[in-house]
Amino acid sequence: MRPDPDPAPAGSDVLTAAVDTARAAAEETAGDPALVGEHLGAAAEPLGPAAGGVDEAALGAVVTHSFASRLPGYAGWHWAVTLAAVPGAGEVTVDEVVLLPGDAALLAPAWVPWHERLRPGDLSVGDVLPATEDDPRLVPSYTADDDAAADPEAQALATEIGLGRERVLSPEGRGGAAARWLAGDFGPRAPMARQAPGPCGTCGFFLPLAGSLRGLFGACGNEYSPADGRVVAVEYGCGAHSQATLAAGEPAEVVTSARYDTADFDVLTD
């Protein structure tokens, strides 16, 4: 509910008394008289300083009437009807009708830019997710000069030395990727890694990444592994390790034949 308004100043008595006119305007805007509740009061609106040589009384008066809202879904809101009158005209004019929130009104959450609302996995087939110019995860690969970035010779040089890209991951971008991968399903703390016969770093199917992340991550090239084609941590591991033939607890023993447990047997009946 809107707080009690200040009393209207002298000269606006006609507008303050025009409750019926204000209510009719609110009901017309609402489309249904039942959506306009009780009259909450009237408040004079400041007109601002008068122009040089102009009598303030000649500016007339402006008063806003408030009515409770009964519009579904708008609890705590109120209709605000602004009326105006020119001295000597003897007529009341409706300036505007708006629905305004009160102190206890339920409001929509603040708008958040799309690139801040996105979450991993939101991108689907056909979607395009352009990187912003100020993305902290990216830095220029061969120059910080915008003019040089548009220079064909500079671009040719970048391609020649093996970069071929205008931007690459910044230290912040690499650090963020490393943190996600280490904490993910193919990191060293994953349940699969804890039961593996050996880490990926010692596996023949492990393909190390190039660059500064080489010592931490690589790609799995084993089609039978749950991590095939994925980025895995050096300390990750699975049962498809290339040295999985080594018996657990006996690093030097190589199993060359099948082992059978002859201590027990099953009785089969037709």
* pTM for this predicted structure: 0.46
182 domain residue, yes or no: yes
Q: Which two tokens mark 221?
A: 């090239």
Cα separation, 270 vs 264, whole angstroms = 20
258 domain residue, yes or no: no
User: Stretch 77-92: mean pLDDT, rounded?
Assistant: 85
Closest CA to 43 of 65, 67, 17: 65
Please report, as a single letter, which amino acid is at residue 74: Y
- At 139-179, the pLDDT tens digits run 777 544 455 556 666 656 555 554 567 788 888 999 999 99
On whether both 43 and 97 belong to a single domain, the answer is yes
On whether both 29 and 96 belong to a single domain, the answer is yes
Cα separation, 188 vs 199, whole angstroms = 9
On whether both 161 and 195 belong to a single domain, the answer is no
151 domain residue, yes or no: yes
| The predicted structure's pLDDT at residue 167 | 80
199 domain residue, yes or no: yes
Q: Which residue has the higher pLDDT, 127 or 31?
A: 31
Exposure letters 48-83 (e unless 16+ CB within 10 A, then b): eeeeeeeeeeebbbbbbbbbbbbbeebeebbbbbbb
126 domain residue, yes or no: no
Cα separation, 220 vs 55, whole angstroms = 84
- SS3 category, 78: strand
User: Stretch 75-103: mean pLDDT, rounded?
Assistant: 88
**Range ranked top by mean pLDDT from 128-142, 167-181, 246-260:** 167-181
Residue where a domain terminates, one of 101, 124, 140: 101
User: Stretch 80-101: mean pLDDT, rounded?
Assistant: 87
pLDDT for 1 beyond 70: no
On whether both 36 and 74 belong to a single domain, the answer is yes
Residue with tokens 């009785």: 267
On whether both 150 and 79 belong to a single domain, the answer is no
- Residue-range definition of the domain harbouring residue 184: 172-233
| The predicted structure's pLDDT at residue 138 | 82
Q: Please give the DSSP secondary-structure letter assigned to residue 268.
A: -
30 domain residue, yes or no: yes
On whether both 165 and 197 belong to a single domain, the answer is no
On whether both 63 and 93 belong to a single domain, the answer is yes
pLDDT for 75 beyond 70: yes
pLDDT for 51 beyond 50: no
Q: Please give the DSSP secondary-structure letter assigned to residue 34.
A: G
On whether both 165 and 176 belong to a single domain, the answer is no
79 domain residue, yes or no: yes
On whether both 22 and 90 belong to a single domain, the answer is yes
| The predicted structure's pLDDT at residue 157 | 57
Residue where a domain terminates, one of 148, 169, 190: 169
Tell me whether strands 93-101 and 138-140 are parallel, antiparallel or unpaired: unpaired
Confidence at 270, pLDDT banded by 50, 70, 90: low
Average pLDDT over the chain, rounded to an integer? 79
On whether both 153 and 96 belong to a single domain, the answer is no
| The predicted structure's pLDDT at residue 6 | 44
Residues 6+ apart with CB under 8 A from 217: 178, 181, 208, 209, 231, 232, 233, 234
Q: Which two tokens mark 226?
A: 């749950």
User: Stretch 86-102: mean pLDDT, rounded?
Assistant: 85
Domain count, the chain: 3
1 domain residue, yes or no: no
Helix (H) or strand (E) holding 30: helix 19-30
On whether both 30 and 75 belong to a single domain, the answer is yes
Report phi then psi at 14, rounded to 5. Answer: -65, -40
